[in-house]
Structure 1
Amino acid sequence: MPTTKRKYQGTNNSFVFSNVSGQPVIFRPTGVNRYFTVCSTEYLALGGGGHFALYLDGDLLTGSSATSETYGNSCLAHTEDFEVKEVELWGFVYASKYEEMVSILRTETPGICRW
């Protein structure tokens, strides 16, 4: 759930990627820290340790990307600061939980993340 506190979540199974070069490049956690994902009422960010690998403002209209210690990534976009064209978030659930998750998603108030 979005919160006003800065609390990281996630596991080392997370990753970030870029397709800027025309070839997908995946960046997996370096093990330096556990700053995988942080979701607040003001922003959504992946990575950390000086800079976020990916940062999206709460209105989902602007973002930024820089090298993060978490993923050892280069900038994931053409420029460090950018305007967002489209947001697509994916999540996976066990098949046995599918109907339960669909039911929850139909009743939740829209927001920038659902944990």
Structure 2
Amino acid sequence: MRSTLENIRVLYFATNCAEPYVQIITVNNSKRRQSVCSSEGSEVGESEDDLLPVLCDHSQLLDQRHLERLAAHVPARTQGYPWQLAYSTMVHGTSLKTLYRNMAGLDNPVLLVIRDMQNKVFGAFTTEPFKVSPSCYGTGETFIYSFSPDFKAYRWSGENSYFVRGHLESLQIGGGAGSFGLWLDADLYHGASYSCPTFRNLPLSTQQDFVVQHLEVWTLQN
């Protein structure tokens, strides 16, 4: 089957997707949706750069190393598509309520990225935007991750379905047995990460109770 070629903007830290600083490269369209982790059906000489996301805004937290590891772990259906900054504490202030408001009306998977006061980077990928909900939401594609010190992704254990729960006063990701995989308060300032049955994870930060230095939420658009 003949594959098609497609021009894709690939400049990871452009401030706006429409600016002329975006580099245009031509890649095989069949590669765009392929997982970096997959060896089956991969083409010789394939570059991981072909699968890196296009960041439509500047990130204070994500560098090339972060992008390479995260791009390999998000679902294949989201790979190669633009990431749009939906919320940043440096841009929008520190308010969970504002975060929810910025998520309203969206219907895309999101990536939460946190850097704490110990300069540790960690977060979560969820299949639905964050919102206030009377019950848990999300799917088994949800995972939490940490770069502390090496990259580790904790996927769904199958033990429960406590993926995400949004309250006005807190955001909870993962749970069970009285603990949360990742928890943030209403000011997005204090957080906690404990081992939880949903992901059977280790704490994401070097301290189970941490203080947020900076936080970003990206929507993965398709």
After TM superposition, the score normalised by the length of structure 2 is 0.40
The amino acid that maps onto 1:66 is Y
Q: Is 1:47 the equivalent of 2:165?
A: no
Aligned to 2:187: 59
Deviation at 1:88, TM superposition (A): 1.2
Q: Which residue of structure 2 aligns with residue 25 of structure 1?
A: 152
Larger Rg: 2
TM-score (norm 1): 0.75
- Name the SS for the 2:214 alignment partner: coil
What residue number does 2:215 align with? 87
Give the Cα–Cα distance (whole angstroms) in 2 for the partners of residues 39 and 89 of structure 1.
15
Q: CA deviation at 1:92?
A: 2.0
Instruction: Give the CA RMSD over aligned residues.
Output: 1.1
Deviation at 1:91, TM superposition (A): 2.4
Tell me the CA shift for residue 14 of structure 1: 0.6
Please state if 1:2 is matched with 2:121.
Answer: no
For 1:92 and 1:10, how far apart are their aligned partners in 2? 15
- The aligned residue for residue 201 of structure 2 is 73
Deviations 1:2-38 (Å, cap 9, x if unpaired)? 25x3x111000110001112x1100000000000011
**What is the SS of the residue equivalent to 1:12?**
coil
Flag structure 1 segments of 5+ consecutive residues without an equivalent.
95-115
Identity %: 33
* Distance in 1 between residues matched to 2:162 and 2:145, nearest whole Å: 16
**AA in 2 matched with 1:8:** C
Count residues in correspondence: 91
